[in-house]
Structures are given as C-alpha cells and as structure tokens.
A and B are shown apart, each in its own frame.
Chain A
C-alpha cells in the first residue's frame, strides 16, 4: 500500500516548496537573451570550482551556470536529499556512493549512456554509478589507497619495497618488530584499506563478481569474506600490530609515519601534502597491498562522485546540462579541473600529471583495478559499512571471530 506521508504541516510545507521552487531554474526553457541558465550544486569548493566554471563560461556563453556549494560528504548528501524531496534539486548535482541507490531507485537522475561525452571515460567509473547498462553519473577521476612505506626503515631489515604476497608481508613485519621498529599501523575508523584491497583482488578473479553472488543470494558474506578476514586478522593475532589501532584515526597514523615511528601505514593521495610538509626529508613512497594466495597485489579505491543530471529538469535545461557535462569531460575541461584538484583523471584523451611518489598506484586507477566495498555493494551500502567497521574493530579487539564479523553482515543485509 502506498500513501503520502501525513502532512500535518502541509500548508507550511507546500508554501515553502513553492517559494523554493520559484528560486529554481528548472521551470522554464531558455532565458530572454537566448542563453539557458542551469543550476549546479557543487561538491568541490568554490576556490577550486570557480576557474573551471569561468573556463566553461568562455567556451559556452550560451549556457550559464548558477552554482551553489555544499561540502562533502554528509552535508552535501543531506542538502541534495532535501532539495530532491522538495522538488528544488538543481539541474546538475553529484551522485556519490552514499546516495546512488536512492537517486537511481527514485528515478531522479538521467541515463547518460547514449551521450558522446561518456565514450572517453573509463568504463569502471561509469559502471560505478550505473545499473543494467545505464550510466547515471559522469565520474571523471578515481582515487586509490595502498601502503605508504618508509624506505629507510625497510632497508634496515633488508627490504627495498613492500613484498607482493601477504605471507611475505607478515614475515617482514615480524623482522621489523624484532628490530624494534613498529612495522605497520592502519586506522580502522573506516573500512580497513587492507580488507578492501584483499576483497577487491578476490572479486576481480571471479565471474560473476563476489558482490553479484552475495547480493543475488547465491553466496554469503560468511562464505566470501571469512577467509580474507582471517588472513587480515593475523596482523593482530600474531602480535604484529597493536589492537590499539581501533582508537586511532587516519591523521594520527599519518603523523606517526611522518615522525618516523612506524614503517608502513595505509594511505591515499590525500596524505602526500601533509607528510611532505611535516617531514620533507622522509624517504618514502607508495606500494600496492600484498595479495593473498595468488600473490596479486591490489589497491583499495573507487570512482570519484559523478556529475548527474536531474530527471525533473525540463528538456531545455537537460540539454544545457549535457553541454556542461560534455565540456567537463573534454580534454580542456579535464585539464582545468585536474589542475585545481590534482585528481587522477580517467579520460582516455588526457594524461594527468601525478606526484612521482604516487606513481605506483596510477596504473590501477587509470585501468579501474580498484575496489571499495561500500561503493560496490548493491544496496544498504552505508548500513553494511557501519556494521562492518564496528564488527571489524571488535574482531581486532579479540571479542569476536572473523566468521562472526561476516555473519553479522549477512544478518544486517537480511534485515535491511
């Protein structure tokens, strides 16, 4: 049975919605001067976005962009959600891991799969925000996280890089520990990078994918995740890493690394500037996360949020929005945006300049060899993510087994 919510404050809400929609730009065709003004809710800050919009304005004077800003992630998601509900969503907005299921299920976004401007974009990025062959988000960059390592500390125990297999990695951790060096720290206030990469490596060898099996009911988290979690948990059960990591956040771990007190930590591109500022002389670089049985290293990561077009906008505004997205995906648009954000972009006709330290990760990013559970799960993403993080913390503390972590995820999926 479907009913509208009880609108005890219907008059107020309606008045508010009408007032707000009057401010929107989606209720008519072009402007009097022949231009079309589209509205855009930006995820990127004003300082970085303004040069991009200025360049677009010069290239396409027939389309004006009326931009508003909301910082990621929670505030952006809430702002957009409120606008969608009240019918005042902008013509262009960002579709992200946190809202993609609701936006696609609610048919609030336009299918971009037939557009020319998606042809030069890495399919992994398009499929991340797609379903059943349709693409709902134009994601132009990706991020990846692996291990950052102190080359000098590793050299003290005879290594020049992070080993490619998990067993060898644990062996190296033991040698570091024996030498009085804290081998590794990983913040687990979010999904551990190691777990994401290991699951991703396993899934990349499967067809259908690991998540297809779980979410279709053919398999379970218990079956697929338990072996990986058992391997990951060896870090703690073998005493190589302190269970105190459950009380650390990413910044604390990064600071330990920058101070030279730990040999390796889980890191993404966002750590580069802070470490170089705190420790300009530190001899360090990135490595992919060691693989399990087959030795295939992998990285955690995901496609960045994609630009989406509001399905409630009229045809003229949708057409103008497509002009905007087309320009953003062009070499000129990607270059200007990349200069502002330093993202690793994934369009085939532009090679982004990358910090040499981050070079080992770039190939995986550009080829879409990335995995992040939250963005790959097919429903209840945040519900499962919150549960997984909490249960993994309990596993690290020794309160539950890896199998119980996976069982908790199965229970959560069944209940949601």
Chain B
C-alpha cells in the first residue's frame, strides 16, 4: 500500500477541521444545511403552522364560515371532557389501537415463520394474505357490513344457520360490534405486517438455525431463542405503525358500523370530522384534535421507548437491524 493511498488529501483534511478559522468548513456546513431547507419548509408549513393554528382555534368559537372567532378560553376543552360521546370515542379508539396492535403482532409473526418455509404455492399463499391490504379500508368496511349483517340473510349468519346456529347480532350488540371492527381491522392488516416481518426474517442467517439444530434445539426453542429476538427491530416498526394507525382510525368503523350502535364504535377521528366539518364547530373539533395529538404523542413515545428497551435487551450485538442502527 503506497503512502499516497493512506494519506488524506490535504484540502479535505483542512476543510474537515472546524478549528483554526477554517472558513471553508463553515461554508460546507452551510451548504449541507441548505439541503435541509425544503424539508424544513414542508415541516413548518404543513405541520407546525397548522398545529399552532389548530391550538389557537381550540380557544375560540370558530365556525369555519367566517374569519371572525371569539376567544372562549378553555370552554371547548371543558365541553369535550363532559361529553359522553367524545369520551366513548376516546375509549373505543384506544381499545381498537391496542387490540389491533397486540392481535396483529401475535398473529403476524407466526404467520411469517410459516410463510417463510418452502412449500408448493408459497408465493400464492403470501399474495392471498397480503391481498386485504390492497383495497381501501372504506371498501372493506362496506363489504364486511354485508358479511356481518345481523339479519338471518347475512352472509355469516347464513353459513352459521346451516349448523343450526341462530342469527347473531354482529353489528347490533355493543360488544360484538366492537369485536367485529377489531377483527376486520386485524384481518385486513395482518398480511401486510407479515410481509414486513418476512423481510426481516429473511435477513437472519441460516447458520444460526443449523447451529441450533446441531445443539438439539427444538423448533419452539429456535423460535423463542433466535427468530423472535432477531425480529425485535421489526416489532418496533410494526407496532409503532399499528399504534399510530389505530389511534387515527376512521374509515373502517365509519363504513362498517358508522360509530354505532349508540356510540359503541365511535372514534376520536370521526368525532373530529363530524364536529368540525359536519357541525361547523371548528373550535371544539380543534380542541379535540389538540388533546388527541398530545395523547397520541405520549402513547407513541411511550411505546417507542418500551419497544426500544426490549430491543436493546434482545438484539444480538453482532447484528444491526434497520430500526436500531
């Protein structure tokens, strides 16, 4: 190896130094930072400005029909906390977010392991599982509304009737309606998250399993000792997406149950849209949005911190997943 090859170029060395009045270094930093400006511009105008404006409107009686808005202090926040329908919406939203996150994670990982095995028609089976992720949730909701119709002629009830089962009020009983929305949400998203896990699973070296087999590890021990720990970066990403997506769910419950019966499957996002757009109560809807943003932030960061903690405990030092690097 020649000396020229190992010695850094003089100019680069000089620019790389921040000390000694290196004006070129500052210029380089400024140029580098300039590339961030478009992203900063988008962030400020599409996130910060609307957020600040929403917060301001939450303190007013803004109707959306006139720029005039009277300052009402915390009245909108008080109304929300005293409104049973909004509290019901908050309750079901949390139930949906946590329920789908847990169920999809529990189902998608074993599914991934099975879909990763070599068998005839594997790609077709993978496609079948992935398919529900393609149509919009709104369309799925409308289709499932007919499947789960509480009438005797409903698709599912017709099938059950062949086994002598009486019609079940899937969408007309509070608990069943909540369960139905969650189950359809799980059905629609499990395949997508299984594909996410598959990408991580395929990057686990086969040698680990060969060594484990030689050491006499059972398939169950291999799963809990190798697969699951090395999938923790994927778990972090998947659960984060599920939790944030679940908290802002709107289209599925709206089309499947329209928030009913009563307020059993009402969601926060539906409440914001109905109050703001439908009822011209932008002040109230803004207050709800602010509270919701804070709640989502707290939940998301808590979940992220928890999963990162678990990830640090399980991830193998010699391996670096995309989420942990």
Contact = CB atoms under 8 A, between A and B. Distances in A.
A273 interface: no
A3 B169 contact: no
Interface string A1-44: 11111111100100000000000000000000000000000000
Contacts of A101: 280
A108 B261 contact: no
The dominant DSSP class at the A interface is helix
A252 B79 CA distance: 36
Contacts of B60: 3, 5
A102 B63 contact: yes
Contacts of B167: 244
Contacts of A390: 85, 259-260, 262-263, 266
Contacts of A214: none
A108 B50 CA distance: 26
B65 interface: yes
B115 interface: no
Contacts of A245: 172
Contacts of A249: 145, 258
Interface in B77-115: 79, 82-83, 85
A189 interface: yes
B94 to A, nearest CB: 19
Nearest to B60: A5
A242 B150 CA distance: 10
Interface string A76-92: 01100100110000000
B129 interface: no
B67 A85 contact: yes
Nearest to B70: A2
A9 B52 CA distance: 9
Given A9-B53, A415-B82, A99 B174 contact: no
A399 B88 CA distance: 15
Interface string B225-251: 000000000000000000000000000
Contacts of B63: 102, 106
A106 B66 contact: yes
B153 A247 contact: no
B69 to A, nearest CB: 5
A200 B79 CA distance: 31
Given A102-B64, A415-B79, 5 more contacts: A3-B60, A5-B67, A9-B49, A259-B153, A390-B263
Interface of B: 45, 49-50, 52-53, 56-57, 60, 62-71, 79, 82-83, 85, 145-146, 148-151, 153, 167, 169-174, 177, 257-263, 266, 274, 277-281
